[in-house]
Amino acid sequence: MKKLIFITLALAGCGSDNKAKPDAPVVHEVDAAVDAPAGPDCFMGTPMTHDEIINACPDPGVTRIFKHPSLPLMNPDGTLPPLP
Amino acid sequence: MTKLSMLAAAVAALAIPTSAHAANPACSSLPDPIVVAGSSAVGPFIASMGKTLSGQATPTTLIYQKQGSCTGVNAVVLDTTPTGACASGACIRGTATYYDSTGTALQCDLDANGTHVDVGLSDVWVDTCTGQLPPSGVKDISGPVEAMAFVVPKASQQIAILAEEAYFVFGYGMTGQAKPWVNEMQLFVRNALSGTQQIMAHTVSVPAGRWKGIDKGNADGVISAVGTSTAPEATIGIVGAADYDQHRDTLTELAFQSFHQKGAYYPDSTATSFDKKNVRDGHYTAFGYLHMVTHVNGTGDPATSASLRFVDWITGNTTRTAAPFDITDVTIKAHLIPTCAMKVQRNSEGGALSPFHPATDCSTHFEQTVGQ
């Protein structure tokens, strides 16, 4: 399966107080193709919980990379199998 | 001397403990010695402090032995007789490093019967090493933040790793089929006594004692092995981000995507910056704190003058102990992160992040100092 890594210099449009800037994300195709993230994919607003913090919309200029590796041993439901 | 031979010589010099050498002075004979041991990831930080302290009109000498975080923890926790003969598992032996006023690293000989450690230096909490909270009379005091990183050779084409990938790479090895890192001879790791490995272990859910790969002993060993690999695409290692920052010419740091995260991030805002922005705001989760483990008195303060001064210097308690440096600047220049520049915190190894609001925010000063 081919895979893709996108590198995005984050746009400001995620933040609730910010407006999207016209800059296009910088996309690097590293190892073939998959898909770009669709729709809002970061937390807008003031993050309070762990998941909100790690998924908060990054500031402008921050590099964000989307990678979809092939992991044959991953469970079908996306969970990890126990260690051998 | 070539860069490679210089690196080899440096690694050889850092192989510890070594037997006493006749040309070395006794560590105990050096001016006002303070003995610290443990984490190798904080080496640049200790070197910077040691240089300044030895250059004072009334010099102090930092005596430093780096064998891994948990070795430093154990040297103090097992030291049940801190003013007497060394108990089993306590103290350090062989040679240690100290720094002169030019910053040159020199070697001194520890006591043949063992030298008590004033402060154990650890990248992880005491219970991560021992499975238990510190015993009575021993305290774990948190200091600045240290990020850890997955690194690959400069010639590698890899730029990111997911927590799930790391789980298969280091938890399964070859059978994990997480390409291109499927050759266990090219996985350069540490061991369960290493704070770097413990932090990464908690970050990717592979217990530190079960990592596949080659134990390179200390950070210098990993840096050398990864940086000189002849199979760059298959090679990966783990080091402190502070160490990586000093070896960007031979290593590439991977962006990391944590479990439940959407997208991978570098510790810094970009691959070429030094601002540790993503550590400070929680987008990069592979980090811990420098822990100072020391004996305390009945009021909970470090028990000896040496340990009290060292802890006060690092925690910035200049009201009690005058400092010959600005510890915030020392911390930043050593590529660590003062807590005053953090926006998030955690209270256990690899634990959940929560918002953090320092009493005095030094984020702007941090960013100006690192040149961002």
What is the C-alpha separation between B61 and B42, in angstroms, rounded?
17
What is the C-alpha separation between B68 and B52, in angstroms, rounded?
24
What is the C-alpha separation between B49 and B103, in angstroms, rounded?
9
Please provide residue A9's backbone torsions phi and psi, each rounded to the nearest 5 degrees. Answer: -85, 110
Determine what percent of chain B is predicted with pLDDT higher than 70.
94
Contact B117, B37 (CB under 8 A): yes
What is the C-alpha separation between A80 and B266, in angstroms, rounded?
24
Within 8 A of A59 by CB-CB distance, chain B residues are 269, 277, 281
Across the interface, do B260 and A54 touch by the CB < 8 Å criterion?
yes
Segment B86-105 mean pLDDT: 95
Segment B141-147 mean pLDDT: 97
Residue B152, classed as helix, strand or coil, is strand
Residue with tokens 């092995």: B225
Contact B240, B123 (CB under 8 A): yes
Write out pLDDT tens, residues B43-71: 889 999 999 999 999 999 999 999 889 99
Contact B265, A64 (CB under 8 A): yes
Global confidence as pTM:
0.86
Mutate to test the interface with B, among A26, A67, A77 (most CBs of B within 10 A): A67
Where do the domains of chain B lie, and which CATH numbers do they carry? 3-143+288-355 (3.40.190.10), 147-287 (3.40.190.10)
Given a cut of 80, whether residue B101 has pLDDT beyond it is yes
Beta strands (DSSP E) in chain B are: 33-38, 61-66, 95-99, 105-109, 119-122, 138-153, 160-162, 187-189, 214-215, 236-240, 251-253, 255-257, 287-295, 344-345, 354-355
Q: Which two tokens stand for residue B345?
A: 């915190």
A-B C-beta contacts closer than 8 Å = 109
Nearest Cβ partner for A69 among B165, B262, B344: B165
Peptide bond into B180 cis (omega under 30): yes
Length in residues, chain B: 372
Nearest one of B192, B191, B166, B195 to B181, comparing CA atoms: B166
How far does chain B reach from its first CA to its final CA, in angstroms?
A: 34
Secondary structure letter of residue A37 according to DSSP: P
In the prediction, which pLDDT does B73 show?
Answer: 96
Determine what percent of chain B is predicted with pLDDT higher than 90.
90
Amino acid letter, residue B12: A
Q: Is B248 exposed, middle or buried (0-12, 13-18, 19+ CB in 10 A)?
A: middle
pLDDT band at A26 (very low <50, low <70, confident <90, very high): very low
In the prediction, which pLDDT does B364 show?
Answer: 96
Q: Between β-strands B214-215 and B187-189, what pairing exists: parallel, antiparallel or unpaired?
A: parallel
Is B245 an interface residue toward A (CB < 8 Å)? no
Mutate to test the interface with B, among A1, A26, A65, A74 (most CBs of B within 10 A): A65
Q: Between β-strands B119-122 and B287-295, what pairing exists: parallel, antiparallel or unpaired?
A: antiparallel
Please provide residue B11's backbone torsions phi and psi, each rounded to the nearest 5 degrees. Answer: -65, -40
Is B233 an interface residue toward A (CB < 8 Å)? no
Segment B262-280 mean pLDDT: 97
In the prediction, which pLDDT does B67 show?
Answer: 83
**For residue A76, how many other CB atoms are within 10 A of its CB?**
5
Length in residues, chain A: 84
Nearest Cβ partner for B278 among A47, A55, A62: A62
In the prediction, which pLDDT does A14 show?
Answer: 42
Given a cut of 50, whether residue A31 has pLDDT beyond it is no
Secondary structure letter of residue B296 according to DSSP: B
Per the prediction, chain B carries an average pLDDT of 93
Q: What is the ipTM for the molecules in this complex?
A: 0.88
In the prediction, which pLDDT does B12 show?
Answer: 38
Nearest Cβ partner for A73 among B168, B270, B283: B168
What is the C-alpha separation between B171 and A81, in angstroms, rounded?
11
Write out pLDDT tens, residues B308-321: 999 999 999 999 99
Q: Which two tokens stand for residue B136?
A: 């009575």
Segment B282-296 mean pLDDT: 98
Is B277 an interface residue toward A (CB < 8 Å)? yes
Within 8 A of B172 by CB-CB distance, chain A residues are 73, 83-84
Q: Which two tokens stand for residue B237?
A: 């290692």
What is the C-alpha separation between B147 and B156, in angstroms, rounded?
22
Write out pLDDT tens, residues B211-238: 999 999 988 999 999 999 999 999 999 9
For residue A68, what is the nearest residue in chain B, using CA coordinates?
Answer: B162
